[in-house]
Structure 1
Amino acid sequence: MTDGAVRVTRTLRARPDDVFAAWTDPDRLRRWLMPGPGTVAAAVTDPVPGGGFRFAKLFPSGVDEVTGEYLVVDPPHRLVFTWRSPGTTGGRDSVVTVTLRPDGDGTAMTILHERLPAESFRSGARGAWTAVAANLDAHLTTTG
């Protein structure tokens, strides 16, 4: 792993195509892409290379808007996108790679978040992605 990066892995109880769809469908993203108390009030995605996304996350402490651009869209195996958020990256662009591979009846998912500017951001991102992966697993289990 490179400096400024965190990696989170989790085996999910769903097929790779369903996991990929959960990452790219804005209605589904609103249900699970929240690391703690709060809601995703808005989600817009255009999951094609060069397409963008925007999430407005409402926390008890305020709003965090995340924006980015899809760099690689390879269903149902891999997504690579930029990630810009004041709370996660200090407003700088970072890069997230989501890799999915079949694992028995489920999917082995790896989230690699690179170019994080400082240890405090890496620590926060590690906790957030771990919580988000658990939320995604719960979402897939209840909707599958």
Structure 2
Amino acid sequence: MNIDKEYELPFPVSEVFTAWVSSETAIPPASRMNIEPVPGGCYELFIDGPDGGASNRGRFHLVQPNDRLVYTWEWNGDGEVTVIDVTFQSDGPQTRLRLSHRGFLSKDRAKMHDAGWDSYIQGLTDHIRRQR
């Protein structure tokens, strides 16, 4: 199962890319992040809660600043390692973002992540607005 999405964000590519790879961009429900945007570097997202928490861990395979990112994604050590491929394209003062998330083992997992991406992009947009 795969997810393919496209978004228009009202910010230049450099702002969108920088926010995407910043450890400071913890979009709820994430409480903190650890991002090292270099090939082989980590991508870690943490959700802290009263019952413990959850985490995502992955590794960057490709980092082309202001252009493209490819990294893995494994939710809470569940063994299902998927691949995220994001391209950032300038569209005047906006960014056209194309996202591919591949390798889900079930439709339910893909559906959950599909909705999660829409929520994340809204949170990313709000975060960038607050940073301006």
Q: After the TM superposition, which residues 59-74 of structure 1 pair with which residues of structure 2 at under 5 Å, given as runs?
A: 63-74=53-64
Tell me, in whole angstroms, the C-alpha distance in 2 between the residues paired with 1:70 and 1:103. Answer: 25
Regions of 4+ moved over 4 Å = 59-62
Q: Bigger CA drift: 6-15 or 52-61? A: 52-61
Corresponding residue of 1:44? 34
In the alignment of these two chains, the number of paired residues is: 132
Q: Which runs of 5+ in 1 are unaligned?
A: none
Tell me, in whole angstroms, the C-alpha distance in 1 between the residues paired with 2:79 and 2:46. Answer: 14
Q: Which runs of 5+ in 2 are unaligned?
A: none
Question: TM-score with structure 2 length normalisation?
Answer: 0.91
Tell me, in whole angstroms, the C-alpha distance in 2 between the residues paired with 1:13 and 1:85. Answer: 30
Structure 2 SS opposite 1:26: coil
What is the deviation of 1:116?
Answer: 0.9
Structure 2 SS opposite 1:84: strand
- Spell out, residue by residue over 1:101-124, the C-alpha distance to the aligned partner (whole angstroms, 9 max, x if none): 011211011121100110000100
What is the deviation of 1:61?
Answer: 7.0
Question: TM-score with structure 1 length normalisation?
Answer: 0.84
| RMSD (Å) for aligned C-alpha atoms | 1.8
Between Structure 1 and Structure 2, the one with more helix by share is 1
Corresponding residue of 1:78? 68
